[in-house]
Amino acid sequence: MSETPDTLVEDAAAVRSERFVEVKLDESIPNNVDLSSDKQLLRALETWHPQYLEWWKDMGPEGFQNAEVYLRTAVGVDPSGWAKFGHVKMPDYRWGILLAPKVEGRTIPCGRHKGEPAWQEVPGEYRSLLRRLIVVQGDTEPASVEQQRHLGATAPSLYDMRNLFQVNVEEGRHLWAMVYLLVKYFGKDGREEAQALLERRSGQQDNPRILGAFNERTPDWLSFFMFTYFTDRDGKMQLAALAESGFDPLSRSCRFMLTEEAHHLFVGETGVGRTVEATCAAMNKAGIKDPFATERIRALGVVDLPLLQRKANFHMSVTRDLFGSEISSNGAEAFSSGLKGRFNEANLKGDDHQLADAFYTVTRVVDGRFVDEQVPALRSINSRLLDDYIADCQGGIDRWNKAIEKAGIDFKITQPHKGFNRKIGEFKGHRISPDGRLLSEAEWAAGAGQWLPNDADMDFIGSLMKPCHDKGRYASWIAPPRMGINNQPGDFEYVKID
């Protein structure tokens, strides 16, 4: 995966000169939605904006609010110049509202309204369902910022720290994108939802974030890289499905968000990849061939590959739960109403895009064994998106494995069975091993420590989390990147810590 092409290097001062608070909101927020002409919307966003900044200061990256970070800022949606790079303090980041260009004559791609002109206003009969879809997507955006807020202190390099903060500010922008839709199209309810998005807190008992995986902790950098590879990829799949929405403003928002999401996935894939690289190099240097020589490998200050597999197992299984129940009437209604498509909906050939008579194979557990059942395709929309997600995860895993193979080490990272460690859907309540065996409670208890990170694993990872904040230096457990951000040299000061 590559960085966004054609990025512009701008004088840092130019990025900093337009401060949020000093200029009018419609001028300080990069937007292509003609904010200044909609006074009511502007007023609502002006009310929300200081609360957002309060939230960012309370719940955003801890300890680095005054640091100057080399960030890209979206300033337009045309491919030749949508991002500017420059050092900027995160609270001064120009969070904007950007929609992909309108496609003239676009029609609703799926469901019972297929072929009708895409909605430019909220379709009355689907108002609450649409609002719910936007709120659930919106809630994930600030949640991940909250989950990752302590990581700056233990960053393995300035390069990685910068990438973390880039992901964080863009998740903040994704929140802006959803709040724009709520406030513009849903009146008072929308404003209340926008408020609530700043009030829920990841992991908090009384007022948690809506989805489970977004209440898990992201306690260390390995978790961060696994999260950005596996969980941001759920984000990609959901955004791709919402980009097919018949509600055109949602579609256009999500299409632009997908371009940012690509960088988050890049951070995850290369973060795990560089961890693999450091491990293999250290093993080879020490003459260790056995990937299971845990003590000896850990003594080198690198992460053993079986531990990476256990971390991956955890993040994959938790993320699969985000797709919801495989068989779901809500999923069916989101599709039939035309509010949410499938992955790649508009390009699915030989398909009627309505699915009234179609079936889809869903694996279920019946009488203690796996059964592949034909289920009406409409009701198994979630199952299909999950399958597409699992396929999409494989590319990066293959590239990690190629690096391991090239290093001459006999180990392969694999995806666990779909039912492994699931809390939602068809496999909930069943004990299933990574290689897809239905287990008794006792068998599960005996194996869990080999399949999911155990206490000793987490202690070891914790022991590696020492800051490495000198220019051009990297912690022992992670290899330097092949290329700098925006082609910057290896010793570039990505974050100026004061």
Binding site for Fe ion (CB under 5 A): 141, 171, 174, 232, 235, 261, 264
Mind giving me the DSSP string for 277-320? HHHHHHHHHHT---TT-HHHHHTTTS--HHHHHHHHHHHHHHHH
For residue 230, the minimal CB distance to Fe ion (Å) is 12
Q: How far is the CB of 25 from Fe ion (least distance, A)?
A: 22
The smaller minimum CB distance to Fe ion, of residues 232 and 269, is found at 232
230 versus 247: smaller Cβ distance to Fe ion: 230
Task: State the DSSP code for 119.
Answer: B
- For residues 297 and 293, give the distance between their C-alpha atoms in angstroms, rounded to a whole number: 6
Per-residue b or e along 351-363, where b marks 16 or more CB atoms closer than 10 Å to that residue's CB: eebbbeeeebebb
Instruction: Report d(CA 346, CA 131) in Å as an integer.
Output: 23
359 phi and psi, to 5 degrees? -125, 160
Work out how close the CB of 292 gets to Fe ion at its nearest, in angstroms, rounded to a whole number. 34
Token duo for residue 424: 């939602």
The smaller minimum CB distance to Fe ion, of residues 148 and 421, is found at 148
Task: Look up tokens 């100057």; give the residue.
Answer: 68
CB of 172 to Fe ion, least distance (A): 9
Nearest to 487 by CA among 72, 165, 67: 72
In whole angstroms, how close is the CB of 249 to Fe ion at the nearest point? 17
Closest separation between CB of residue 197 and Fe ion, Å?
A: 13
Q: How far apart are CA 376 and CA 336, in angstroms?
A: 13
* Cβ contact 174:197 at 8 Å: no
Residue 171 or 220: the one with the smaller Cβ distance to Fe ion is: 171
Residue closer to Fe ion, measured from CB, 64 or 230: 230
Tokens 């900093």 belong to residue: 16
Dihedral (Cα; 376, 377, 383, 388), 10-degree rounding:
160
Q: Which is nearer to Fe ion, 178 or 332 (CB)?
A: 178
- We find the least distance from the C-beta atom of residue 298 to Fe ion, in angstroms, to be 31
CB of 382 to Fe ion, least distance (A): 20
State in angstroms the smallest separation of the CB of 77 from Fe ion: 16
User: What DSSP string runs through 405-416?
Assistant: HHTT------PP
Give the nearer residue to Fe ion in terms of CB position, either 211 or 375: 211
Q: Choose between 264 and 340: whose C-beta lies nearer to Fe ion.
A: 264
Based on CB atoms, which residue is closest to Fe ion, 1 or 356? Answer: 1
Three-state secondary-structure class, residue 161: helix
d(CA 497, CA 155) in angstroms, rounded, equals 12
If the CB atoms of residues 223 and 309 are measured against Fe ion, the closer one turns out to be 223
Q: Which is nearer to Fe ion, 261 or 321 (CB)?
A: 261
Tokens of 175: 């929140």
Smallest distance from Fe ion to CB 239, Å = 8
Work out how close the CB of 97 gets to Fe ion at its nearest, in angstroms, rounded to a whole number: 14
How many other C-beta atoms are found inside a 10 Å radius of the C-beta of residue 125?
9
Tokens of 373: 């059942």
Nearer Cβ to Fe ion (26/232) = 232
Shorter beta-carbon distance to Fe ion: residue 142 or 434: 142
β-strands 68-74, 8-9 pairing: unpaired
Residues 6+ positions from 4 with CB-CB distance below 8 Å: 72, 82, 83, 259, 262, 263
Identify whether the C-beta of residue 297 lies closer than 8 Å to the C-beta of residue 333.
no
What is the CB-side half-sphere exposure of residue 421 using CA atoms within 13 A? Answer: 25
Contact 260, 83 (CB under 8 A): no
From the CB of 236, what's the least distance to Fe ion, in Å?
8
Q: Whole-angstrom Cα distance, residue 274 to residue 308?
A: 12
CB-based contact 98:256 (threshold 8 Å): yes
Shortest approach of Fe ion to residue 261 CB, angstroms? 5
| φ and ψ at residue 459, rounded to 5 degrees | -65, -45
